[in-house]
Amino acid sequence: MAKEPEPEDIRPYQKGTDTIKQQVLSSVLSEHDLFLAQREKRIELLRKMEELSTPAGRAGYLAFLSSEAMGASIGSDDIPAIGDALLSLGEVDELNLIINSPGGDGTVAEKIIELCRAYCKTFRVAVPNRAKSAATIICLGADEIVMGYCSEIGPIDAQVAILVGGIPHFISAQSFIDARSGLEARFKEAVKKNEDPRAILQQIAGLQVPFIDHCEKLMEFSREVARKYLSDYMFRNIKPIKKKQAAIEGVLEGLSSVGRFKVHGRMIDGNAAKTKLNLNVRLLGKDDPLWKCLWEYYVRADVQLSRTVGLAKIIETRNEILMRSLRLQ
């Protein structure tokens, strides 16, 4: 009786194991080399930016980039990584923080500012693309903000996570406060017109008072932190004190007004930040050598974030790279 032939889909696996091992090893090594090659490219750009920033002094660059597609927000777990990256860089005359982030915890933003300022005399924040909410607060804690033609900051309204269909969504804390105020105004109007206010009262009763109170505290905290750092650094040379206070309140009014910007993601570009908010913004043209380096660095890092499965953040200096994966709940 003739021997039944082995299935075609099994034979290569059984008899070609060594070949498969070679193919897998070759693929892994290729990927590893690509990662190192891109890391070297980014290091080269960081060094070039250091030279372009202060040719006569010591400058350092620290990148803090988040994957917005993965919802990577600023959180307490960023502090050890940023602290370690700063240690690898050491004290410098001028520290430049490259940031791209949708925002996050305002208390962590405050700590990031303090950490960075402990390592330098002058602190700059460079925004290649977007720095929103808590990331905008970090910008306000700098001596100068470096922006290009496509850079943007945003309102400093605190964001609150809510679950919609089991998926977390970040909503402005001010929106909850405004919703309560709106219901209260509608109730007063209904009473004034002798209309039945019971439906409105039911909606008001459904509001969680402690939660609304928490939202109010979050909003006030954002303004307090921004006010402190604007006074201590960005606006420290404005005289007299009344003019300085007016400048600070103008920024707070502009950046904490949901009514003015409507949505959290509303763009405030470099020109608006400089001319309307009077922030100390250094605008770089698209052909500026520093902007070209900054943009290329950002694009390369963003590609790394998007092509590496699960990668949520890159914190990097020319001496060290720290990467954080998305924590699955």
DSSP character at residue 309: T
Task: Answer yes or no: do 102 and 138 share one domain.
Answer: yes
Task: Answer yes or no: do 224 and 191 share one domain.
Answer: yes
The residues near 247 (Cβ < 8 Å, ≥ 6 apart) are 230, 235, 238, 278
Task: Answer yes or no: do 228 and 97 share one domain.
Answer: no
Domain count within the chain: 2
Domain boundary among 197, 218, 237: 237
Say whether pLDDT at 187 is over 80: yes
Domain containing residue 278: CATH number: 3.90.226
Query: Does residue 272 fall inside a structural domain?
Result: yes
Cβ pair 212, 179 in contact under 8 A = no
Residue 42's pLDDT band, with cuts at 50, 70 and 90, is: very high
Say whether pLDDT at 161 is over 80: no
Task: Answer yes or no: do 80 and 228 share one domain.
Answer: no
Task: Answer yes or no: do 169 and 149 share one domain.
Answer: no
pLDDT tens per residue across span 222-239 = 899 999 999 999 999 999
Q: What is the SS3 assignment for 69-136? A: HHCCCECCCHHHHHHHHHHHHCCEEEEEEEEEECCECHHHHHHHHHHHHCCEEEEEEEECCEECCHHH
Say whether pLDDT at 9 is over 50: no
Query: Does residue 147 fall inside a structural domain?
Result: yes
- Stretch 293-315: mean pLDDT: 92
Task: Answer yes or no: do 121 and 94 share one domain.
Answer: yes
Q: How is the beta sheet containing 268-269 ordered, strand by strand? A: 130-131, 152-153, 268-269
Domain boundary among 215, 237, 259: 237
pTM summary value: 0.79
Domain assignment of residue 171, given as a range: 158-237
CA of residue 98 relative to chain centroid, distance: 10
Rounded Cα gap, residues 241 and 252, in angstroms: 17
Query: Does residue 117 fall inside a structural domain?
Result: yes
Mean pLDDT rounded to a whole number for the chain = 84
The percent of residues above 90 in pLDDT, for the chain, comes to 52
Task: Answer yes or no: do 67 and 136 share one domain.
Answer: yes
Query: Does residue 30 fall inside a structural domain?
Result: no
Cβ pair 208, 217 in contact under 8 A = no
- Stretch 171-182: mean pLDDT: 77
Cβ pair 324, 310 in contact under 8 A = no
Q: Work out whether strand 144-147 and strand 311-316 pair parallel, antiparallel, or are unpaired.
A: unpaired
Query: Does residue 98 fall inside a structural domain?
Result: yes
